[in-house]
């Protein structure tokens, strides 16, 4: 019990760590270089940065290598690292109109100002395993890049690198408003500095969704379309590209400190106060805007997350206790990746005291009942109450 067992606990941890290393290295393969992971596992890096709430591609690549590709653990390492960093500046609000666009599509209109740009996407590729990848070499990569370069005619390149937004069409026609809803809480909240309280302001909702687990957000968004919600959002605009980040220096001058790659989704939905699907009968006499935007933004190229975030954000602004995705508490608490991951895994910790307390209670109740009624009572292990740990 005493010292010997303590030694055992520490030894066990050290041995567990060594075994992890053993299983990583026992194949005796060449270690993956950080640069390789960062560039060739691009989307895994992007996802880790988004869920880890830290834009640092090299750190994210290191995290992924360290945890052998586990997306939860990678995000977790970044979050833990992030908590040690002092906040020196607050950036100006990102202007995604200034985005250097890699890809932008809209499904609300056939053609949009500036044009649809498919860009880098696997949306229309066949999901067939490609053994040719195994033959790739630095030589073949070099040839691929130079061939691609040769095809580009520099004289035909667009001058324009930024685009107007699709929502401008809605705004211009008065179908959408930039005004806040009556009673909308527009405080800028910081979820990393304060615990949220309900109802949560929109800024905190957006922050939490931007850090949320991609898979959990997809579950929520999917449920709103499939039968546990009232919406089928439409992609007003989906953009992926690089946005400059600017901070004010001590003299108040704006300084660009670099660019970050983001995915942005603007999901068009009903405005909630005057649903366009409601048979055309306006609930107000004035011409109220009929559409609203569900906004999604996350680090890197993670389109699933941006779209689902937009849909969920839209759903959260129309509370409805019948649907999980329309319930702030349900969505915000349960899509939080680090909390969900940690707590479900804590079940691996010993619970023998808690369990013993339950067993003793159950035995006591059985004894009491047997004494009082003179007949035995079936006893479940753990007692009649919910084990609250």
Q: Which residues bind other proteins (CB under 8 A)?
A: 1-3, 5-6, 8-10, 12-13, 34-35, 58-59, 62, 76-77, 79-86, 192-199, 329, 333, 338-346, 349-354, 356-362, 364-365, 368-369, 372, 382-389
Tell me how far, at minimum, the Cβ of 99 lies from other proteins, in Å: 26
Q: Which of 327, 320, 318, 267 is nearest to 105 (CA)?
A: 267
Tell me how far, at minimum, the Cβ of 65 lies from other proteins, in Å: 12
Q: How many Cβ atoms are within 10 Å of 1's Cβ, its own excluded? A: 5
Tell me how far, at minimum, the Cβ of 58 lies from other proteins, in Å: 5
Indicate the residue among 248 and 367 with the shorter CB distance to other proteins. 367
Can you say how many angstroms the Cα of residue 259 is from the centroid of all Cα atoms in its chain?
Answer: 20
Tell me how far, at minimum, the Cβ of 189 lies from other proteins, in Å: 12
| Contact in structure between 212 and 328 (CB atoms under 8 Å) | no
For 270, the 3-state DSSP assignment is strand
Euclidean distance between CA atoms 220 and 49, whole angstroms: 21
Indicate the residue among 120 and 378 with the shorter CB distance to other proteins. 378
Burial class (CB in 10 A: 0-12, 13-18, 19+), 330: middle
For 248, the 3-state DSSP assignment is strand
Indicate the residue among 10 and 137 with the shorter CB distance to other proteins. 10
Beta strands in the chain (DSSP E): 100-105, 234-248, 254-270, 291-299
| Contact in structure between 42 and 23 (CB atoms under 8 Å) | no
Identify whether 199 is preceded by a cis peptide bond (ω within 30 of 0): yes
Indicate the residue among 123 and 373 with the shorter CB distance to other proteins. 373
Tell me how far, at minimum, the Cβ of 194 lies from other proteins, in Å: 6
Tell me how far, at minimum, the Cβ of 265 lies from other proteins, in Å: 26
Indicate the residue among 124 and 352 with the shorter CB distance to other proteins. 352
| Residue carrying the six token digits 């009082």 | 372
Indicate the residue among 13 and 136 with the shorter CB distance to other proteins. 13
């Amino acid at each position: 019990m005493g010292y010997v067992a303590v030694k055992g606990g520490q030894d066990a941890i050290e041995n567990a760590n060594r075994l992890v290393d053993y299983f990583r290295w026992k194949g005796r393969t060449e270690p993956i270089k950080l640069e390789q992971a960062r560039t060739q596992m691009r989307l895994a890096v992007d996802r880790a940065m988004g869920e880890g709430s830290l834009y640092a591609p090299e750190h994210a690549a290191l995290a992924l290598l360290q945890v052998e590709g586990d997306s939860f653990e990678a995000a977790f390492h970044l979050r833990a690292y992030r908590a040690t960093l002092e906040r020196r500046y607050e950036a100006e609000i990102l202007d995604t109109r200034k985005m250097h666009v890699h890809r932008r599509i809209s499904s609300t209109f056939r053609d949009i100002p500036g044009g649809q740009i498919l860009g880098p996407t696997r949306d229309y590729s066949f999901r067939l395993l490609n053994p040719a990848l195994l033959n790739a070499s630095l030589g073949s990569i070099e040839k691929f890049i130079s061939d691609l370069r040769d095809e580009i005619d520099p004289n035909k390149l667009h001058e324009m690198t930024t685009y107007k937004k699709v929502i401008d069409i809605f705004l211009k026609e008065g179908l959408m408003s930039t005004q806040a809803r009556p009673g909308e809480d527009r405080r800028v909240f910081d979820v990393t500095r304060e615990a949220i309280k309900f109802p949560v302001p929109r800024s905190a909702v957006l922050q939490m969704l931007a850090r949320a687990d991609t898979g959990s957000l997809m579950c929520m968004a999917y449920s709103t379309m499939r039968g546990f919600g009232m919406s089928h959002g439409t992609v007003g605009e989906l953009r992926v590209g690089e946005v400059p980040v600017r901070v004010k220096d001590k003299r108040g001058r704006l300084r660009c400190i670099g660019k970050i790659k983001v995915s942005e989704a603007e999901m068009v939905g009903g405005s909630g106060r005057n649903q366009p699907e409601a048979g055309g009968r306006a609930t107000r006499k004035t011409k109220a805007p009929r559409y609203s935007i569900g906004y999604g933004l996350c680090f890197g190229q993670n389109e699933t997350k941006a779209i689902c975030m937009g849909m969920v954000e839209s759903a959260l602004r129309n509370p409805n206790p019948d649907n999980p995705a329309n319930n702030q508490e349900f969505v915000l608490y349960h899509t939080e990746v680090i909390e969900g991951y940690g707590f479900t895994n804590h079940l691996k910790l010993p619970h023998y005291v808690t369990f013993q307390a339950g067993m003793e209670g159950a035995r006591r109740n059985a004894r009491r009942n047997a004494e009082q009624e003179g007949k035995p009572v079936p006893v479940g292990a753990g007692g009649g109450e919910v084990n609250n740990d």
